Amino acid sequence: MLSAIPGPGRLAELYRYRELIYNLVARDLKVRYKNSVVGVFWSLLNPLVMSAIFTFVFTVLMPSGLPHYALFVLIGLLAWNWTVGAVVGGAQSIVAHGHLVKKVYFPVEVLPISTVLSNLVNFLLALIPLFGLMLLSGIVPGPQLVLLPLAVLTQLVFLLGLALALSALNVPFRDTAAVLDVLMLGWFFLTPVFYRVEDLAGGWSRLMYIVNPLASIIANYRVLLYYNSWPDPLFMLRTLTQALVVLAAGYLVFSLLRDRLPEEV
């Protein structure tokens, strides 16, 4: 697993290409909103609309009993939307830029990395309506908000690992993206976006935290933003450790396939 950790030379090379990463992120955001009527405001409206739909279903049609259910769902949706954009977009990132990979040398890692970062920008923009909804719900953020950057960093690390692995696998195995579409749907229902992990029967709640790091990531967000309290330090540390393991495994997969990518893209 130690070989999965990029050495100083590789990290220095990625740092030298930081401007390229910035330009790719900026270009992705411009393309995404160029012909959109509401433009960047869709990043704010999309999670609000979805949250309203889930709130209607689970407070009117099938009451869940959770207070401020719209806020509860919105927190999960924001984390999920970032995940979908980063994972699906990351899987396609190298194939979509095949013409660049073949003609110009640059560390190919910058492609999935820039995809994850561009979706991070959308996530951060979507926090604006989230904080507005918190205030409308009578929840004033407390000092524990200082830990929010750590929660965001944990999800960033987790998604970088997934994007690196899937972007490399999708080059020699082009059906990766098709399989991913099915897996993402299953992952959505197996992630506590619109329900509480604690409400699962038997010992499934503990198992979900172990096998699904995103469940732990969303739990940390909800402790900070929905319950407005301090999270368990050990739980946050374990979640970060899970994310680092995923990053190491993802980079290992990417490293094993890196030399084949320019030839097979």
Q: Supply the pLDDT for residue 32.
A: 73
For position 111, what pLDDT does the model report?
95
User: Considering only CA atoms, which of 66, 83, 188, 70 is closest in space to residue 129?
Assistant: 70
Note the pLDDT of residue 65: 72
pLDDT at 1: 46
Q: What pLDDT does residue 144 have?
A: 94
pLDDT at res. 47: 74
Separation between Cα atoms, residue 64 and residue 177, nearest integer Å: 35
**What sign for the dihedral angle of Cα 93, 99, 100, 101?**
positive
User: Could you please report the per-residue DSSP string of 26-84?
Assistant: HHHHHHHHTT-SSGGGHHHHHHHHHHHHHHHIIIIIS----TTHHHHHHHHHHHHHHHH
Please report the pLDDT score of residue 2 as a whole number: 44
Residue 248's CB is within 10 A of a number of other CB atoms, namely 17
Ranges of each domain in the chain: 2-264
pLDDT of residue 191: 93
End-to-end CA distance of the chain: 26
**pTM listed for this prediction:** 0.89
The segments of the chain whose pLDDT lies below 70 read 1-9, 33-44, 58, 61-64, 202
Residues 58, 64 contacting (CB under 8 angstroms): yes
Query: In degrees rounded to 5, what are phi and psi of residue 106?
Result: -165, 155
